[in-house]
Structure 1
Amino acid sequence: MRTFILQIIDFFYKPFARVMPLQTFRYLACGGGNTMLDIFLYFICYNFILQKQMVHLPFVEMTPHIAALFMSLAVTFPTGFLLSKYIVFSESNLRGRIQLIRYFLLVGVCIILNYVFMKLFVDHFHFYPTIGKICTTAIVVCFSYLTQKKFTFKVKQVETLKKN
C-alpha cells in the first residue's frame, strides 16, 4: 500500500519539482487528503449520524458539532499519523511509540493554535471568518510541518565512536 501511495504522489510531484522539495509535496498531499477526509467525515457525522442532535453521555451533554469533531478525529488522527510516519517522514529512526506520543502532543497543540488564531483573527482583528480560517490554516500547517520534521519524526543522528 505504501508503494502504491508513493507512486501516485510522486507522479503528481513532477510539475512541482522546481518549486518545492519532494518531502514538502508529500506532506501537502497527505495532509490535504487527510484534511478532506476529516471534513467529509465531519459532514457525515454531524448531518446523518448525529442528525444535528445533542449527544447525551453519562456525565455530560455534548453539542453535535463538537461530537462530530471527535468522531472524525477518531479516524483522521490514526490516518494522519500513519501517512506521516510511512509516507512523508519514513526516514525517521525514532521509535514508533515516541513518534505517536509526539504526534498526539502536536495534534493537541494544533487544536489550541486553531482556536487561538481564530479568536485573534475573527474576534480581535475582525476578519471575515473564512479569511480568518484561511490565515489560521496557513500558520498551523507551517507550524505542523516544521514540528513534525524537526521533532515528531526527526532523524536521530547516530554517532560512531572512534577508537584512538
Structure 2
Amino acid sequence: MLPKNAEKINFATIFYMIRRLILNIIDFFHKPFSGIIPAQTFRYLACGGGNTVLDIFLYFICYNFILEKQAVHLPLININMGAHIAAMFMSMAVTFPTGFMLSKYVVFSESNLQGRTQLFRYFMLVGVCVLLNYALMKIFVEQLHLFPTVAKICTTALVVIFSYLTQKKFTFKVKEQRA
C-alpha cells in the first residue's frame, strides 16, 4: 500500500534524489584528492569506472549463464554470432544508457546542449572508442609486440583520456550564450 502523499513523489523527484546521492558519495571520496585532481575529472573516473565494472559483470553473467557460451543465431540476417560478441551487445544495452545518464547528469551537468544532440554525440563517441580499442590492441600486440595485458592497460588509458576530452569539449560542451 502506498502512503497518502505518494502521488506527490514523481519521477523527477526520485531522479534528483538519486543524482544527489551519487554526487554526495563521489564528492566525499574526492575530498582527499581535491588538491590533485579536479572534481569533474574525479567524477568522470568514478562514474566511468563504476559503469565499466557493471559492464564486465553483466558481460560475465550474459556470456556464462544466459548464453551459456553458445553462439546465437540471428534468423533475420541468417548468421551466427559468437557468444562473446552477443554478450558484449547485451551488456552494452544496459551500460550505454547508464554511461550516458551518468555523464549527462553527474559529470557534465553544466552542458547546455539539447539532450538529443548529446545522445547522438555520445553514440558516435562510443562507436569511435570501440574502434580505437580494436585498432590500438592490434597495433600494440601485433606491431609493437607488447604483452596483451600491457597492451590492454595502455589502450584503456589512451581511450579513457580521449573519451574524457571528447565528452568535455564536444559531447557535453557548454555552448556560449549570446547576449
**2:128 aligned with 1:118, yes or no?**
no
* % identical aligned pairs: 73
SS at match of 1:70: helix
SS at match of 1:123: helix
Alignment partner, residue 128 of structure 2: 109
Task: Work out which of the residue numbers 49, 57, 63 in structure 1 matches 2:66.
Answer: 49
2:148 maps to amino acid: P
The alpha carbon displacement at 1:138 in A equals: 0.2
**2:35 aligned with 1:18, yes or no?**
yes
- Superposition TM-score, scaled by structure 1 size: 0.97
The CA distance in 1 between the partners of 2:50 and 2:79, in whole Å, is 33
1:49-128 counterparts in 2 under 5 A? 49-58=66-75, 59-128=78-147
The alpha carbon displacement at 1:159 in A equals: 1.6
The CA distance in 2 between the partners of 1:120 and 1:72, in whole Å, is 26
SS at match of 1:56: strand
Alignment partner, residue 49 of structure 2: 32
The CA distance in 1 between the partners of 2:89 and 2:82, in whole Å, is 11
The CA distance in 2 between the partners of 1:151 and 1:86, in whole Å, is 16
**2:22 aligned with 1:5, yes or no?**
yes
1:133-144 counterparts in 2 under 5 A? 133-144=152-163
1:145-160 counterparts in 2 under 5 A? 145-160=164-179
The alpha carbon displacement at 1:104 in A equals: 0.1
The CA distance in 1 between the partners of 2:86 and 2:166, in whole Å, is 27
- Superposition TM-score, scaled by structure 2 size: 0.89
The alpha carbon displacement at 1:17 in A equals: 0.4
Residues 111-159 of structure 1: CA deviation (Å, up to 9, x unaligned): 0000000000011111111110000000000000000000000000102
The CA distance in 1 between the partners of 2:23 and 2:71, in whole Å, is 41
Residues 74-117 of structure 1: CA deviation (Å, up to 9, x unaligned): 00000000000000000000000000000000000000000000
RMSD: 0.5
The alpha carbon displacement at 1:60 in A equals: 1.3
SS at match of 2:27: helix
1:75 maps to amino acid: V
